Structure formats: C-alpha cells, structure tokens
C-alpha cells in the first residue's frame, strides 16, 4: 500500500498541473476547480502515506474513505453529466463500505486500489469538452490521463499478484509447518503411548513380583512356595515354558519342583552337571542351538531360545529357574514391542522366538532372587527344626519332641476315643558292650538302632531317643495287643540285626497303652518304664506289658 500511495501522489499532482495549465492557457474554469480538487486529494493521500508509516491503519482508511467520498460529491456538482453520476455511485458504495472491511493487509490494499482507480477514472470521465480548450490539448490530456490510469492499474495488478503469491507461499509454508507439527504430535503421541505401555508393564510386573514375594514370605512349606512361583510364572512369563529345578544338599540329582507350559517337565529328574548354569554358577542363555551350548535337561532346544538362572543364596546354589520361549508371540494390544521382546495384552514382556529378551532375563533375575531367598529360608528353617527336634547321633526325634508329640496324641485319642500305645526300648548289656569295644562302637550301635527303628516303624509312628540307650516309639491308634505284637517283632528283628556285634546285643521292651495304663504323658511313660524294668529283671531280651501279671 505504501508503494502504491508513493506512485499515486505524484500522479495526482501531475494531473492537477495539467488541469491548472488548461485553466491558465485556455481560461477553463472547470479545469481550475478540478486542479484544486486534485491538489487537495493529493495532499490527502500524502497525509495518508505519512499516517501509514506510523502503522495507524484505521486512521489511514478513514482519511482515504473521507477523501473519496468528498471527491465523489464534488464531481456531480461541478459537472452534473450522466457519466459522472455513473462513476459517483461505486465510489460512494466503496467509501461507505471501506471502514467495515476486514483489516487484513491484503483486503486493505485491494480496497484502496479500487478507490484510487475509480477516483482516477472519475477524473477522466468528467473532463469537460469545451470550446475554449483546443482539441490537441484535450487529446494530449486524455492520453496522459489514460496512461496514468493504465500504469496505476497495472501497478495495482502486479502488486496484488505479488501479494497473492506471497500469501499463497505463506499459506503453503504454514500448511507444511502445520503438517510437520501434526506429524510431530503423532510421533510424540506414539512415543508417549509406548512409554505409558512400558510403565504399565513395569508396574504390573512389579505388582506381580511383589505379590509373589509376599506369598513366598508367608509360605510355611517349600511345596507352597513352589506352587506360588508356578502361578506367578504363568502370568509373568507368557509365551514361555518355565520350571524351577531344585538341587538337594546331596547334589546327586536335580528335580523339577514346579513347571508351566509343558506337562512333560513335571517330576523330571536329571543330573546337576547337565545344566550349564549349575556348572558355571552363572546365567546361561541359549539363543541358537548351533552357536550356544545346550543343557542336557532341555528336551527340545529347537523349540526356542532359553535361559537358565541359578538360584543362589547365602553362597549356596539351591536350584535353577529355567525359561524357554515357545515360538513367535503375537504383538501387544498396546502396539508394537521393541526388538527382542513383545508384550501381551496385560503389558507383561515375553521373549520372541529368535532371541531371548533382555527384559525377560532381567525379570527372571528378580524372580530368581526372591525364590532363592525363600528356598534358603526354608532350608535354614528345616535345619533349625531338625536340630531342635532330632537327635544328632541316631537321627530319631529327641526327648522334647517326644513329649510334645505324646501330649498331642493323647489329646487326639481322647477327642476321637481311639487307642494309643507306647513302647520303651532299652539295649541289653549296652554298658558292658561300650566298655569292651569303646565309645565309638557304642555310638555306632546306637546309630544302627536308630536306623533300624526308622526302617521298621509305620509312617505315622514317632520313634524317639529317650536318653542314653533307651528309645521310645509312640504308636497312634494301636491297641495294647497290637503294640505287644509289634514289640515282639521288633525284638526278634533286632536280635537278628545285631548278630555282627557279638552275643548279648538284644533289646528289652516295655509296653503301655491309653487309657488303661494312664491318661497323661507322665503316667503313660511311667507305666511303660515300669514294664521295661520288669523285662530287665526277668532276664532281658523280652517284651513286658504294663499291668500284666
């Protein structure tokens, strides 16, 4: 707009000069009036140009509109021809509508260009044909005015075209920038969804591992703990075959304590040296049978990659957590998974069929850590229980456990109104045997008697070392007659068992039963002990029942 006004101002003053020359040379009063009008209009446009430099677009539009409106009213007053009226009407319409147009620069430039072009055309149309003005001058003036109008119109067209191209370029750039921004937003959204899915997966894994760890802590038996790990393994490691392999303290064999994904793994037994993880004491991963060592306990290495994680706690390897992929799993419902692993609809990571995922291995390490600590606690608890309830020499229950068990069985027999019997065994001539052969031989004999009792008694019976060479066997739900018959069998088997130790190595047995011989622990033990002393007094190597004549 500034460039157009810079061109319009001199053009207006040049045309005013021509009009003024016509007045002075040919005494044409209308030309003088229009010269004054053009000078006034040029001054008005000049003021508008100055205002535009200050970026006061509203004021500039108002001045241009007012000038055009005044010029439109002035022309029909001076020369009221029909052509002038035809020109005045559009000028009036534009002048009135101009202040209400949108204020974008392109609209403003088009409006001002239209007004200026109409104003110049009006000046040409109202040029009077008078007899006082020579024809040559009128022709020259017409040529000058038409040339000026064509030049202004061409300039306006060029400027409008340039602005349109600039606007189109800006719009294209804006569209491109908008498209780039939309692509960026979509990419960021995908990344955010992926991270949200990853966080959900980690949160679910942490929750499941935490629940598993809590259940392991409150499990009272190893079998309960293995069942907990089996259930957790199915949820934590979908798309895998898994197993917990336990190595006993003897380290002779390793067996499957729990498994999932393959029924053939249940109750499987193998040698510890068959597992590379147990050999090396560190994690062993097999991604491809052709390039990695394969553990002998893996029945189908071609099924997929696997990892064996040692269960190590307190410096001892207690077993192995085995995880094997079973083919290519489906992608997660939340989207594509990163390379090396996929997620199920619940968000838990599982391995692919070509490479074992680091995420699954890390998760397996966390599970193995909790499981190893639980197994170590169970073994420690078992060791403490054995130390507190077992006699270290014979392996039988100790006197404290015997008294607790007898008290418990008496309460049960009273509640169920069932039978209960008690045997007290004593090695005959043990002191003489011990003095003759030494304490080491005596300990060997006692240990042999412990093994003998463990072999001969029923599963529900409770064999105990009462003290020295005396032993007690609690026989739940056994009558006195049953107990006497079993005591005779033990005595005869004992005589044959200890022939290698020399003559005189026999046992005497006292028998007592509830409730006829006593209803309390102390009473029943005293009755059986009295019967034992009677057997000793009657010549040893015999069975005597309490209360017998």
Q: What's the pLDDT tens digit per position in 414-445? A: 999 999 999 999 988 888 888 888 888 888 88
User: What torsion, rounded to 10 degrees, do the Cα atoms 341, 342, 347, 348 define?
Assistant: -50
- 10 versus 30: the higher-pLDDT residue is 10
The stretches of 54-134 forming alpha helices (DSSP H) are 57-78, 82-97, 105-125
- 487 versus 270: the higher-pLDDT residue is 487
What number of residues does the chain have? Answer: 549
Read off the pLDDT of each residue in 331-351 and give the average, rounded to a whole number: 40
Exposed/middle/buried for residue 187 (C-beta within 10 Å: 0-12, 13-18, 19+): exposed
As a whole number of Å, the CA-based R_g of the chain is 57
What confidence score (pLDDT) does residue 434 get?
81
Say if residue 156's pLDDT is above 60: yes
What confidence score (pLDDT) does residue 445 get?
86
- Percent of the chain at pLDDT > 90 equals 22
What confidence score (pLDDT) does residue 31 get?
72
What confidence score (pLDDT) does residue 216 get?
84
What confidence score (pLDDT) does residue 50 get?
78
Give residue-wise pLDDT tens across range 478-489.
Answer: 999 999 999 999
Say if residue 173's pLDDT is above 50: yes
Read off the pLDDT of each residue in 272-278 and give the average, rounded to a whole number: 89
Say if residue 27's pLDDT is above 60: yes
Say if residue 311's pLDDT is above 50: yes
What confidence score (pLDDT) does residue 153 get?
64
Question: Considering the entire predicted model, what is its pTM?
Answer: 0.53
CA dihedral for 541, 547, 548, 549, sign (positive or negative): positive
Give residue-wise pLDDT tens across range 106-150.
Answer: 455 445 545 555 555 555 444 444 446 677 776 776 677 667 767
Matching residue, tokens 């990163």:
338
Task: Give yes or no for a contact between 304 and 350, defined as CB atoms under 8 angstroms apart.
Answer: no
Q: Is 349 helix (H, G, I), strand (E, B) or coil?
A: strand
What confidence score (pLDDT) does residue 106 get?
41
Give residue-wise pLDDT tens across range 367-406.
Answer: 888 888 888 888 888 778 777 888 889 989 999 999 999 9
| Spatial separation of the C-alpha atoms in residues 276 and 272, rounded to whole Å | 9
What confidence score (pLDDT) does residue 83 get?
44
Beta bridge partners of 210: none
- 436 versus 78: the higher-pLDDT residue is 436
- Percent of the chain at pLDDT > 70 equals 74
Read off the pLDDT of each residue in 257-276 and give the average, rounded to a whole number: 82
Left, alpha or beta for 147 (phi > 0: left; psi -120 to 50: alpha)?
A: alpha
Read off the pLDDT of each residue in 451-457 and give the average, rounded to a whole number: 90
Say if residue 313's pLDDT is above 60: yes
Lowest mean pLDDT among 211-225, 349-363, 420-434: 349-363
Say if residue 349's pLDDT is above 60: no
Mean pLDDT of the chain, nearest integer: 78
Lowest mean pLDDT among 139-148, 482-491, 499-508, 526-535: 499-508
Nearest alpha-carbon partner for 322 in 354, 290, 291, 361: 361
Say if residue 102's pLDDT is above 80: no
Lowest mean pLDDT among 7-16, 129-138, 510-519: 129-138
What confidence score (pLDDT) does residue 69 get?
63
| Per-residue confidence band for 465, with pLDDT thresholds at 50, 70 and 90 | very high
């Amino acid at each position: 707009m500034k460039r157009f006004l810079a061109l319009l101002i001199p053009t207006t003053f040049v045309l005013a000069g021509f009009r003024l020359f016509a007045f002075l040379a040919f005494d044409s009063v209308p030309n003088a009036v229009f010269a004054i009008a053009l000078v006034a209009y040029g001054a008005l446009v000049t003021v508008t140009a100055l205002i535009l430099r200050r970026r006061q677009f509203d004021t500039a539009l108002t001045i241009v509109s007012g000038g055009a409106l005044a010029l439109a009213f002035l022309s029909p007053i001076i020369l009221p021809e029909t052509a002038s009226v035809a020109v005045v009407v559009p000028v009036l319409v534009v002048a009135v509508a101009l202040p209400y147009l949108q204020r974008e620069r392109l609209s403003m430039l088009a409006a001002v260009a239209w007004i200026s072009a109409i104003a110049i055309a009006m000046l040409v149309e109202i040029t009077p044909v008078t007899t006082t003005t020579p024809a040559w001058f009128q022709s020259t003036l017409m040529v000058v005015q038409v040339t000026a109008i064509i030049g202004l119109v061409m300039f306006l067209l060029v400027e409008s075209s340039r602005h349109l191209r600039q606007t189109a370029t800006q719009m294209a750039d804006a569209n491109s920038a908008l498209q780039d921004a939309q692509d960026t937003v979509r990419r960021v959204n995908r990344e955010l969804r992926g991270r949200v899915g990853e966080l959900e997966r980690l949160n679910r894994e942490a929750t499941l591992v935490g629940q598993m760890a809590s259940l392991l802590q409150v499990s009272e038996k190893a079998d309960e703990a293995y069942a907990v790990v089996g259930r957790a393994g199915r949820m934590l490691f979908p798309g895998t075959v898994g197993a917990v392999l336990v190595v006993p303290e003897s380290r002779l064999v390793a067996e499957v304590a729990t498994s999932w994904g393959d029924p053939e793994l249940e109750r499987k037994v193998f040698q510890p040296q068959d597992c590379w993880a147990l050999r090396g004491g560190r994690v062993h991963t097999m991604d491809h049978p052709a390039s990695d060592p394969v553990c002998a306990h893996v029945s189908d290495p071609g099924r997929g990659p696997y990892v064996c994680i040692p269960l190590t706690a307190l410096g001892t390897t207690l077993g192995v957590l085995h995880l094997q992929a079973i083919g290519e799993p489906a992608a997660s419902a939340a989207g594509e998974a990163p390379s090396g692993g996929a997620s199920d609809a619940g968000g838990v990571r599982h391995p692919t069929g070509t490479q074992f995922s680091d995420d699954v291995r890390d998760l397996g390490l966390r599970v193995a850590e909790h499981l190893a600590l639980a197994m170590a606690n169970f073994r420690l608890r078992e060791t403490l229980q054995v130390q507190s309830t077992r006699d270290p020499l014979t392996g039988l229950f100790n006197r404290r456990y015997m008294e607790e068990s007898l008290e418990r069985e008496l309460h049960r027999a009273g509640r169920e109104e069932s039978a209960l019997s008690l045997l007290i065994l004593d090695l005959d001539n043990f002191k003489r045997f011990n003095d003759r052969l030494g304490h080491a031989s005596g300990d060997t004999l006692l240990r042999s008697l412990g093994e003998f009792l463990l072999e001969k008694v029923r599963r529900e019976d409770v064999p105990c070392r009462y003290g020295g060479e005396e032993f007690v066997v609690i026989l739940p739900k056994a009558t006195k007659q049953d107990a006497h018959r079993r005591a005779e069998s033990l005595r005869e088997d004992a005589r044959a068992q200890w022939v290698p130790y020399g003559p005189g190595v026999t046992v005497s047995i006292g028998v007592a039963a509830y409730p006829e011989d006593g209803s309390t622990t102390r009473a029943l033990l005293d009755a059986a002990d009295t019967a034992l002393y009677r057997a000793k007094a009657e010549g040893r190597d015999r069975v005597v029942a309490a209360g017998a004549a």
